[in-house]
A and B are shown apart, each in its own frame.
Chain A
Amino acid sequence: MSVIHDVIPAFELFQPATIDDAMMLLDRYGEKAWVLAGGLDSLEWFADRIKRPKAVVDLSQIKELSGVRSDGGGLEIGATTTLTEVVRHRLVREKYSLLAEAAEAAASPQIRNQGTLGGNVSQDARCWYYRAGWPCYRAGGNICYADAPTGLNREHAILDAERCVAVNPSDTAPALIALDAKMVVRTPGGEKVVDAEDYFIGPALDITRMNILRPGDLLTAIRIPATWAGAKFYFEKVRDRNVWDFALVNVASAMTTSGSTIEQMRLAVNGVAAHPVRLKAVEAAVAGKPRNEETAAVAGQIAIQGTKPLQYNGYKVPLMRNLVKRAIRGVAGEEAA
């Protein structure tokens, strides 16, 4: 069989109007179903004829999946709310500007108009071998092409690699972890709510998935508690181009201070492992410490403990270190927020 790309294979398209109807369809088609939100990840898979679902369940007609709502002291954001809507929403900007900043750093304006928050956090790995259909570990094979002696791995993992060295590409995921967000998942057995950091999984747990969703499951909403509303936030994404580019490394943090002392901090980086990495050791080390260069330097060193760079991605180690430093003390020479 010869290979051809860029022609989407035929599938049955369903556009349910309720979550219940969507769940019924996912149940009916099981592993042959595919959940379609904004389509930025899905359509590329389809066009390359690598993923060939029998049924595509398009969530765009389900009103209850979309929109930003007040939820107690916090917010609930529907999974199909577009990134542009997240960026522009008044409450997000006022209380959780970290998320607005992260969402605005994703992709390009056109893609943000179409791409959804749920899709951004749930997207698949972007490793160019895996995405081009090479039969690698993640695709069910028995080799990692990016980690081969001549493999091209400038964009790949420096932490927690297990056979596969692909990274999680999401910009909003580390922000949601820093905000201690909860992911609301509908499963055939009912609704469950999990911490954002537990939503993402690495290859050691399951090499074929980036998150806990199994066939038949649906991410319906993301809840952001009031805990970190209005805290001191830091987000930075380093990429090659200024737009339409995945992060080489990004960092997101939330911090409360008392005078010049750090009270508490939550901090996560992405682009360094198959899952966004919450840096609990850094969080513990900086709590109660003065917010200064020295604390930042210590935090940076702790952050990169255990990193194992590949042939072409050694730069990610100092990049991660420096971004963590900045999350503590801000950009050198600029007034810290």
Chain B
Amino acid sequence: MTMSNDLTANNHKLVGKNYTTPDLLAKINGKAKFAEDYRADGMLFVKLLLSPVPHGRVRHIDTRAALRMPGVKAILTVDDLPEPADSVTDLGQVIKADRLGERGLTMEPVYQGEPILAVAAVDELTAAEAIEKIHLDIEPLPFVIDPLDSLRPGGPNARVQGNVWMRPAPPPNAKPGPPPPLQRGVLKWTEEDFAQAKEGQLPMGQATDQWQFGDVDGGMKNAALVLDETFVTPNASHQCLETRTTMAYWQNGKVFIHTGTQSTYQTGPAIARWLNMDPKDIVFISEYTGGGFGSKITGGVSLIVPALLAKRTHAPVMMRISREEENFIGRARPSLQGRMKIGFSKEGRILALDMFVICDNGPYEQMFDAAGAGMIVSLLYQPLAMRWRGLSVLTNTPPRSAQSAPGGMQGITLMEPVLAKAARKLGVDQVAIRRLNAPEGKAEFGAPMGGRRGHTTSCYIKEALDGGAKQFNWDERKARTGKRNGSKVRGLGVSMSTFVGGSIGYDGLIVLKPDGRLYIQSGIGNHGTESLSDSHRISAELIGIPWEKCELIWGDTSKNLPFTCASGGSTTTHAMTRAAHAAGMDAKRKLQEVAAKTLGGKPESYEVANERVFRKGGGPGMSLAQAAQHAIQLGGIYDGHELPKDINKATAASATALAGQGLMGVAKDNYPHDGATFSFVASFAEVEVDLETGKYHILDFLAYADAGTVVHPAAFGGQVLGRSMLGIGHAIGQKWVYDPHYGVAVAKRFHHTKPPTILDAPANMAWAAVGIPDPETPVGARGIGEPPVGGGCCAILNALTDALGDEVIRRAPVTPDTILASLEAGKPVYGGLKADV
């Protein structure tokens, strides 16, 4: 790393400073346009006919009466959708289409609420009345809501093809190589598997995947304490405030689509795949998105419905998605049912960890949450030996997707209550036991691959634990917890958490124009995290231009965007500060060269600062505006007519379109990067439980983050506290409720699923950051969106067990009924192992 361009030092004008983001004013004054805000002449509206059954086969649909209605323009079914297309990655790898995958409409619904057909009409009232006139003849098929029911001998399968994702047996004489991809298959456990589990314990039959390192059996044997605990984490809908509403129209063979996304650039290729079209015929517009949390990494497949209806009807088409529909098609985090057997030394060090997890996969694409849970647990608690076994079981419940810290959050939730119990049993302080097991530096994680395990770029969670314990007055509070005051008792909890915090290898593209302004091309989505503008400020910082003179171009794939990361797993701040750094450095180098070519001398004798490029130590110089003019005259690499060879072809096309307009900074992130990037948080909470009602309140909460350099404190704090609330929601109330007999959701309204509200937030809520730059990235910044979720959830759960003892809580969320029923019974009332309650 070049030290002179080191943005990790505390000497910059933009990095680490708060500012007014370019999208802020429009969000406040209401001028921000979300997909639903668009209107066009002659626009039609769509309503969906949803499956009334959890699994069935449509035998016949009679649409005649609906089509006869005045105002009804078209009906779309799965037969009108393009065949699923194979896709090709940037590396040329062909990914075969899954013919059983989700397509947006279906004749074999695999969950209640799955869209079967769509009606386009002049207004929603007409479309709704048309749907009521459609006769649907549907043959019910076997269904299953809970993974364990499907694993029982003779239990139902969610899909005709099977009930789990499993690896096919290798063919005889198979050559050694990577394992074949998982397929849908049938797996049943034996009655003995179920009989071996005691009440409240997760049965453990055959897993579909496993890995191990170290001597697990030996570690258990040498342990001073062995705990064997079962825990269930909830299915939780993303509940984005903006639903998956989409508007689409066609012009001159191109389709224009407005919908929410987390990743503007990356959504174009996804739409191309869904519509089986050439990406260059797709214009995707998404300037504002009302939340994603992993459910809209590249929008959602449902967007093809209005797109195809618009093509059919030759009219713009709007499909507004209601909250009930969103609860069906809007994605959710999968529940994990887990069992953790852990051997501790008498000091509390984890000698051996045996983890078994079942993922409630939903009906479609394989979820990797069970595997992610194992990987994250192996990193965060650094067991000396570990075995992980897991499986993903198909259920007839709404499709899942990644949700903030996918798998990791659930893995930590399976783990933290066990660690808290061990600390109590061993008489070790809760912060101390975590510090003892915490990773540091280039910490190893995951399954051994070719005899070696991966390692982190850096890790300072011990500093976060120390800083947090001090700021939270841990020792002082500890002295007063557990004391009963009337019917109230307080509890104190601490949790660690981690997740992925960055990817690498994307492109930056900026143009300094003769008007003296810097035009920044952004392919980042605007879903409220502010990484959209935060990341690009690095370029401005490097060439010494004030933010007020920067123009951010975003939210429209027709506006010449560079190759940009998918914003999932909070990779953006890391990935795109690197790309912005590369583009900024490229522009700076070119400014120096333009000055040298114009004014004489060597490029390195010129300095770039304060909107000028000038000779170091005094002498001639020019404004950035003048330099931009000279760059156009010089042409070639300076104004984008010649481009670097290693940039993505999409970046090259965008740069070519912008060539000749000014001095161009365009480069790929080629910075060295040793390790995998993870961020960390230590979370602290104090709760007060009312033992007469089971109701509890969160009095105080602190999240102390380790995510490297803080690029934008206000946005960083917003992420830390906001995602902590997402996790707190999992602890205190957010849930699904499914009637197991009918296989349908009874909690469909927003208030039924109980996402946390602002009045559920802790009375006091604070954040802080370690702020030590990550050494493997030029700005030192990692993403922070993911880790606070597990930390928020588990700080609360641990505070509750501190107040109530270890035998009350076996699942999240923890609601007053659970607490009161257990206290009343004087023993744990487990409430079963079901994924949904």
Q: How far is the CA of A2 from the CA of B757 in the complex (A)?
A: 34
Q: Which residue on chain B has the smallest CB distance to residue A146?
A: B746
Minimum C-beta distance from B143 to chain A (A):
14
Instruction: Verify A322–B692 contact, CB threshold 8 A.
Output: yes
Instruction: Verify A148–B741 contact, CB threshold 8 A.
Output: yes
Instruction: Verify B824–A242 contact, CB threshold 8 A.
Output: no
B residues in contact with A325, CB < 8 Å: 692
* B128-143 contact mask (Cβ, 8 Å, vs A): 1 or 0: 1101111110000000
Instruction: Verify A245–B131 contact, CB threshold 8 A.
Output: no
Minimum C-beta distance from B485 to chain A (A):
5
Instruction: Verify A322–B125 contact, CB threshold 8 A.
Output: no
Instruction: Verify B324–A6 contact, CB threshold 8 A.
Output: yes
**Does A323 lie at the interface of the complex (its beta carbon under 8 Å from any beta carbon of B)?**
yes
**Does B508 lie at the interface of the complex (its beta carbon under 8 Å from any beta carbon of A)?**
no
Within 8 A of A (CB), among B678-732: 690, 692-695, 697, 732
B residues in contact with A9, CB < 8 Å: 125, 128-129
A residues in contact with B694, CB < 8 Å: 238, 315, 319
**Does A132 lie at the interface of the complex (its beta carbon under 8 Å from any beta carbon of B)?**
yes
B residues in contact with A242, CB < 8 Å: 697, 757, 759-760
Q: How far is the CA of A143 from the CA of B693 in the complex (A)?
A: 32
Within 8 A of B (CB), among A137-187: 145, 148-152, 154
Instruction: Verify B692–A332 contact, CB threshold 8 A.
Output: yes
Instruction: Verify A2–B136 contact, CB threshold 8 A.
Output: yes
Instruction: Verify A150–B739 contact, CB threshold 8 A.
Output: yes
* B742-777 contact mask (Cβ, 8 Å, vs A): 1 or 0: 000011110110101101100000000000000000
Instruction: Verify A333–B747 contact, CB threshold 8 A.
Output: no
Minimum C-beta distance from A240 to chain B (A):
5
Minimum C-beta distance from A310 to chain B (A):
12
Minimum C-beta distance from B822 to chain A (A):
9
B residues in contact with A240, CB < 8 Å: 732-733, 754, 815-816
B residues in contact with A6, CB < 8 Å: 322-325
**Does B740 lie at the interface of the complex (its beta carbon under 8 Å from any beta carbon of A)?**
yes
A residues in contact with B732, CB < 8 Å: 240-241
Q: How far is the CA of A150 from the CA of B694 in the complex (A)?
A: 25
**Does A288 lie at the interface of the complex (its beta carbon under 8 Å from any beta carbon of B)?**
no
Number of chain A residues close to chain B: CB under 8 A = 47
Instruction: Verify B737–A128 contact, CB threshold 8 A.
Output: yes
A residues in contact with B760, CB < 8 Å: 241-243
Q: How far is the CA of A327 from the CA of B89 in the complex (A)?
A: 67
B residues in contact with A337, CB < 8 Å: none
Minimum C-beta distance from B242 to chain A (A):
16
Instruction: Verify A2–B322 contact, CB threshold 8 A.
Output: no
Instruction: Verify A1–B322 contact, CB threshold 8 A.
Output: no
**Does B124 lie at the interface of the complex (its beta carbon under 8 Å from any beta carbon of A)?**
yes
Q: How far is the CA of A334 from the CA of B485 in the complex (A)?
A: 9
Q: How far is the CA of A325 from the CA of B815 in the complex (A)?
A: 21
Contact of B124 among A7, A150, A312, A333 (CB under 8 A): A7
Contact of B125 among A7, A145, A241, A316 (CB under 8 A): A7
Instruction: Verify A322–B693 contact, CB threshold 8 A.
Output: yes
Instruction: Verify B824–A132 contact, CB threshold 8 A.
Output: no
Minimum C-beta distance from B114 to chain A (A):
14
Q: Which residue on chain B has the smallest CB distance to residue A4?
A: B131
Instruction: Verify B128–A315 contact, CB threshold 8 A.
Output: no
Chain A to chain B: the 7 pairs with minimum beta-carbon distance, closest first? A333-B486, A6-B322, A7-B128, A332-B486, A243-B759, A150-B741, A322-B692
Q: How far is the CA of A132 from the CA of B742 in the complex (A)?
A: 14
A residues in contact with B127, CB < 8 Å: 7
B residues in contact with A239, CB < 8 Å: 695
Instruction: Verify B132–A332 contact, CB threshold 8 A.
Output: no
A residues in contact with B733, CB < 8 Å: 240-241
**Does A108 lie at the interface of the complex (its beta carbon under 8 Å from any beta carbon of B)?**
yes
Q: How far is the CA of A154 from the CA of B820 in the complex (A)?
A: 13
A residues in contact with B131, CB < 8 Å: 2, 4
Within 8 A of B (CB), among A275-320: 312-316, 318-319
A residues in contact with B749, CB < 8 Å: 44
* A237-269 contact mask (Cβ, 8 Å, vs B): 1 or 0: 011111111001000000000000000000000
B residues in contact with A154, CB < 8 Å: 817, 837
**Does B488 lie at the interface of the complex (its beta carbon under 8 Å from any beta carbon of A)?**
yes
Q: How far is the CA of A104 from the CA of B297 in the complex (A)?
A: 40
Give the total number of A-B pairs whose CB atoms are below 8 A apart: 126
Instruction: Verify A151–B820 contact, CB threshold 8 A.
Output: no
Q: Which residue on chain A has the smallest CB distance to residue B65?
A: A1
Q: How far is the CA of A244 from the CA of B695 in the complex (A)?
A: 15
Instruction: Verify A331–B754 contact, CB threshold 8 A.
Output: no
Q: How far is the CA of A3 from the CA of B754 in the complex (A)?
A: 25
Using A241-B760, A333-B488 as known contacts, say yes or no to A152 and B746 having CB atoms under 8 A apart: yes
* A1, A108, A313 pick with most chain B CB within 10 angstroms: A1
A residues in contact with B817, CB < 8 Å: 154, 248, 312-313, 315-316
A sample of 10 more A-B contacts (CB under 8 A), given A2-B132, A236-B693, is: A2-B134, A9-B129, A128-B746, A128-B747, A241-B754, A244-B757, A312-B817, A315-B817, A315-B821, A318-B824
B residues in contact with A314, CB < 8 Å: 821
B residues in contact with A312, CB < 8 Å: 817
**Does B467 lie at the interface of the complex (its beta carbon under 8 Å from any beta carbon of A)?**
no
A residues in contact with B741, CB < 8 Å: 148-151
Using A240-B733, A241-B760 as known contacts, say yes or no to A323 and B740 having CB atoms under 8 A apart: no
Q: Which residue on chain B has the smallest CB distance to residue A48?
A: B324
B residues in contact with A152, CB < 8 Å: 737, 739, 746
Q: How far is the CA of A241 from the CA of B732 in the complex (A)?
A: 8
Within 8 A of B (CB), among A68-109: 108
Minimum C-beta distance from B825 to chain A (A):
9
Q: How far is the CA of A243 from the CA of B757 in the complex (A)?
A: 7
Minimum C-beta distance from A5 to chain B (A):
5
**Does B782 lie at the interface of the complex (its beta carbon under 8 Å from any beta carbon of A)?**
no
Query: What are 16 pairs between A and B in contact, CB < 8 Å?
Result: A2-B136, A7-B47, A7-B124, A152-B739, A238-B816, A240-B816, A241-B732, A242-B760, A244-B757, A245-B751, A245-B754, A315-B694, A318-B820, A323-B693, A331-B690, A332-B692
Contact of A1 among B133, B324, B693 (CB under 8 A): B133
Instruction: Verify B128–A241 contact, CB threshold 8 A.
Output: no
Q: Which residue on chain A has the smallest CB distance to residue B66?
A: A2
**Does B49 lie at the interface of the complex (its beta carbon under 8 Å from any beta carbon of A)?**
yes
A residues in contact with B756, CB < 8 Å: 241
B residues in contact with A326, CB < 8 Å: 692
**Does A49 lie at the interface of the complex (its beta carbon under 8 Å from any beta carbon of B)?**
yes
Q: How far is the CA of A128 from the CA of B737 in the complex (A)?
A: 10
Q: Which residue on chain A has the smallest CB distance to residue B693?
A: A238
Q: How far is the CA of A331 from the CA of B816 in the complex (A)?
A: 17
**Does A13 lie at the interface of the complex (its beta carbon under 8 Å from any beta carbon of B)?**
no
A residues in contact with B52, CB < 8 Å: 2-3
Q: Which residue on chain B has the smallest CB distance to residue A127?
A: B746
Q: How far is the CA of A150 from the CA of B146 in the complex (A)?
A: 14
**Does B473 lie at the interface of the complex (its beta carbon under 8 Å from any beta carbon of A)?**
no
A residues in contact with B751, CB < 8 Å: 244-245
A residues in contact with B759, CB < 8 Å: 108, 241-243
A residues in contact with B49, CB < 8 Å: 2, 4
Contact of A333 among B133, B136, B485 (CB under 8 A): B485
Within 8 A of B (CB), among A1-38: 1-7, 9-10
Q: How far is the CA of A152 from the CA of B740 in the complex (A)?
A: 9
B residues in contact with A313, CB < 8 Å: 817
Q: Which residue on chain A has the smallest CB distance to residue B758?
A: A243
Instruction: Verify B757–A333 contact, CB threshold 8 A.
Output: no
Q: How far is the CA of A4 from the CA of B820 in the complex (A)?
A: 39
Minimum C-beta distance from A333 to chain B (A):
2
Within 8 A of A (CB), among B90-127: 124-125, 127
Q: How far is the CA of A273 from the CA of B135 in the complex (A)?
A: 39
**Does B20 lie at the interface of the complex (its beta carbon under 8 Å from any beta carbon of A)?**
no
Q: Which residue on chain A has the smallest CB distance to residue B485?
A: A333
B residues in contact with A331, CB < 8 Å: 486-487, 690, 692
Minimum C-beta distance from A316 to chain B (A):
8
Using A128-B752, A241-B733, A245-B751 as known contacts, say yes or no to A315 and B824 having CB atoms under 8 A apart: yes
B residues in contact with A322, CB < 8 Å: 692-693
A residues in contact with B754, CB < 8 Å: 240-241, 245
